[in-house]
Chain A
Amino acid sequence: MNAPDRFELFVLPEGSKKVTVTKDTKIPNASVITILREDHTVGNLIRMQLVADQDVKFAGYRMPHPLEHNINIRIQTYPNSTPLKAMEDSINLLIDEFERINTQFNNQVLRKKNMTDTYI
């Protein structure tokens, strides 16, 4: 009866923004980036990429509530960078990486298909 709608998992509520950035008032170079309607798939992916960045002092993500499908990514950087720059860099690197996986996968599938064609 009071079950939440199933589409709440991935449909962005009307009028809300997918990404919001809140600066930390107490710590320099720190921000919390809230992404609506995403989960551990993206959260862990971005977090691991941020942690690999030399300019990032701290990066972590959490899902504040299991029934609200949003994640918070908290980033603190060294003074030579900003959290937003680190976030942008990480996402760009990840897009690059998946682009490479995509082309490699396509090539491999083509090669496999050609191979089976010639053997039959």
Chain B
Amino acid sequence: MTARSPELEILEIKNDTITFILSNTDISVANALRRVMIAEVPTMCIDLVEFEANNSVLCDEFIAHRLGLIPLISEEVNRFNYTRDCSCSERCDNCSVEFRLHVKCTDDKARDVTSSDLISQNDMVIPVSSAQSLNHNNNTPDRPEQEIPIVKLRKGQELKLKAIAKKGVGKEHAKWIPACVATYQFQPHIVINQNRLDELSDKQKEDWVASCPAKVYSYVPHQRNQVTIEDPLRCMYCMECKKKADTYGKPDLVTIEQKTDRFIFTVETTGALKPEDIVLYAIQIIKRKLTDIQTQLQTQIQEG
């Protein structure tokens, strides 16, 4: 048997999303990639919080949980060890990052405590929202503030804490998941039967095109080829266009099939990692898993 030769084509890379097509491979490969992107790509997240003062309206646990869910820039995550593997006794700079937060409200107005009040010990690991406001100038200027609210303080209330971020994976807790969307879909194959289409009136064509909630088709009156497929990738197989065609008594107006050997991946990052890095790390992690099993299997065979 020979290895399959999968093909990969990147359609688009944006700041926070990547879309690519993986073809000529098995669905188990696509699913393994998706599962690893979600559950096993490591990031940094706040994991331990020590409260020194908290007389806000939220209890300590509530705030600790909120802090955990703040995404932190994790581009340097590979420089860190997992705390359990680290040579240090409890924790050190190689396996953790310390954050400090101290806010006291002295005004009559309520004070919002946000992710930008978190002061990091390490410039490489900061809340995603703080990094966005840092390059606010060269980015879109009219973007609203992206800070993440933690709690509101009234006059006299104070919040003082020390938070420790650690490296972890999504398997352990969802806060470490680097991707907020990691999905694949089959490539849709949509064919319009032109003969049947010609039998429809202009009003019917318009209604039929409008029947698609995902706006796959477009209709321009007074042109030769009046109905066109604008973007087949938008199709979500709701089959509304089929149902509409049935009401016209033309069930063969359109055929929609799934090409089950082409996987269109969409990966959107929380901001912790670059989207292309999530995919790349996932591929490397699966490879490492497989080589690990392979070497373990060989030692087993040698031992008999």
Question: Which residues of A are at the interface with B, using a C-beta cutoff of 8 A?
Answer: 6-7, 9-11, 17-21, 33, 35, 38, 40-42, 44-45, 47-49, 52-54, 84, 87-89, 91-102, 104-106, 108-109, 111-113, 116
Chain A residues, CB < 8 A from B276: 105, 109
Contacts A42-B289, A105-B280 given; does A88 touch B297 at CB 8 Å? yes
A-binding residues in B (CB < 8 A): 1-10, 13, 20, 22, 25-29, 31-33, 35-36, 39-40, 84, 169, 171-173, 276, 279-280, 283-284, 286-287, 289-294, 296-298, 300-301
A41 in contact with B36 given A7-B84, A7-B172 (CB within 8 Å) = yes
Chain A nearest CB from B62 CB (Å) reads 20
Report chain B residues within 8 Å CB of A48: 26-28
The answer to whether residues A17 and B35 also contact, given A48-B26, A92-B294 and a CB cut-off of 8 A, is no
Q: Is the interface of B mostly helix, strand, loop or mixed?
A: helix
Q: Are A18 and B6 in contact (CB under 8 A)?
A: no
Question: Nearest B residue to A87 by beta-carbon distance?
Answer: B297
Closest to A108 in B: B10
| Cβ-defined partner of B8 (8 Å) among A10, A33, A87, A101 | A101
Query: Contact: A97 with B35, CB < 8 Å?
Result: no
Are B293 and A104 in touch, CB under 8 angstroms? no
* Chain B minimum-CB-distance residue to A42: B289
Expressed in whole angstroms, the minimum distance between the Cβ of B183 and any Cβ of chain A is 16
| Chain B residues, CB < 8 A from A101 | 6, 8, 22, 25, 29, 33, 283
Residue pair B1, A95 in contact (C-beta under 8 Å): no
